[in-house]
Amino acid sequence: MTDAWIVSIAFAAALVVVGLYGLLTMRNLIKLFIGIEVVAKGVSLILLSAGWARGNVLVAQSLVVTFIVIEVALVATALALIINITRKTKSLDVRKLARLKG
Amino acid sequence: MILHLALLVGLVLFSVLAILARDLIKSAICLAAASLLLGIIFFRMGAPYAGVFEISVVAGLITVLFILTIALTKTEGDVRESKLVRMVFPLFFVIFALIDALVMKGLLAKIPMLESAARGGTFSDVLWRERTFDLVGQIAVILAGVFAVLALFRKRDPHD
């Protein structure tokens, strides 16, 4: 069980990389945001695994709770932005946002 | 250890499905399943409060927000993703998994750890006494989120 935290961090790194792959390759705005969520999952797993390794789960746990609250505020704001953008450009395609001319 | 490993594999699998699924609703549901597994992992690591937050807020609330957004933007048609994305992903992931398995243990051994002793007490002691400023920050973040959403959905003034 001593190496369980190393395994957890290795899997968390995989989650971060999968999320980054989604962010770099997807075109749908909602899919991009799902990529951000996957990265956030990896980061919270890393935070808790680090605390677990050092025997300080309580502090890591409070950091993870703070992180989850920040994540919710981020999701609410970003999804509201996505709805507004979609109303304006009539599409979920992120490439249409490149046309910044009024 | 085997259960822990199975939960981690399930977490990565559902996250990959959430990224690669064609249907957005399926993506959102896979993300919720991944959050559920992450919550169970938190419970097993001895962090029940983080697990409860993860399951109730991330698997519950955020999934509802995603599905609501998908329903509100459904009429705008589907975005075509590049076919190359799904074809390249297995190769990319296998290469990363190999590097991860070979390098991670040595890398973690090289990172110096800060001195810290195991801490006693309860979660509420830590959250309310030692990390009080975090709570102030959390309240500020929630208020910022609420005001941002209010500002984004503001009705246009007829006099403008």
How does pLDDT run along chain B (160 residues), one tens digit per residue?
889 899 999 999 999 999 999 889 999 999 999 999 999 999 999 899 999 999 999 999 999 999 999 998 887 667 777 888 888 888 998 999 899 888 888 888 887 766 666 666 787 777 777 778 888 888 998 999 898 888 888 876 667 6
Are B69 and B13 part of one and the same domain? yes
Indicate if B68 and B135 belong to the same structural domain.
no
The reply to whether B64 falls in a domain is yes
Count of CB contacts below 8 A, A vs B? 223
Q: Is residue B103 part of a domain?
A: no
Residues B67 and B5 in one domain: yes
Residue-number span of the structural domain to which B146 is assigned: 121-154
Domain containing A78: what range?
A: 4-98
Per the CB < 8 Å rule, is B149 touching A14? no
Q: In terms of DSSP H, where are the helices of chain B? A: 2-20, 24-44, 48-53, 63-72, 83-110, 123-125, 132-152
- What pLDDT does residue B135 have? 86
CA distance B2 to chain A (A): 10
Residue B57: per-residue pLDDT: 92
> Does residue B90 fall inside a structural domain?
no
Confidence band of A101 (pLDDT split at 50, 70, 90): low
Q: Among B99, B115, B96, which Cα is nearest to B107's?
A: B99
Q: Which residues of chain B have a CB within 8 Å of the CB of A35?
A: 19
B18 part of a folded domain? yes
- Is residue B13 assigned to a domain? yes
Instruction: Report the CATH number that the domain containing residue A42 is assigned in CATH.
Output: 1.10.287.3510
Q: Which two three-digit tokens encode residue B143?
A: 């208020």
In this structure, what are the phi and psi dihedrals at residue A93, rounded to the nearest 5 degrees? Answer: -75, 125
B140 occurs within a structural domain = yes
What is the domain count for chain A?
Answer: 1
Q: Which pLDDT value is given to residue A102?
A: 56
For residue A14, what pLDDT is reported? Answer: 93
pLDDT score of B87: 86
Which tokens go with B43?
């419970």
Contact A56 B116 (CB under 8 A): yes
Name residue, tokens 């490439």.
A95
User: For residue range A55-76, what is the model confidence (pLDDT) as tens digits?
Assistant: 788 888 889 999 999 999 999 9
The ipTM value here is: 0.91
| CA dihedral sign, ordered B87, A75, A51, B111 | positive
Q: What sections of chain A are H helices per DSSP?
A: 4-25, 29-54, 57-89
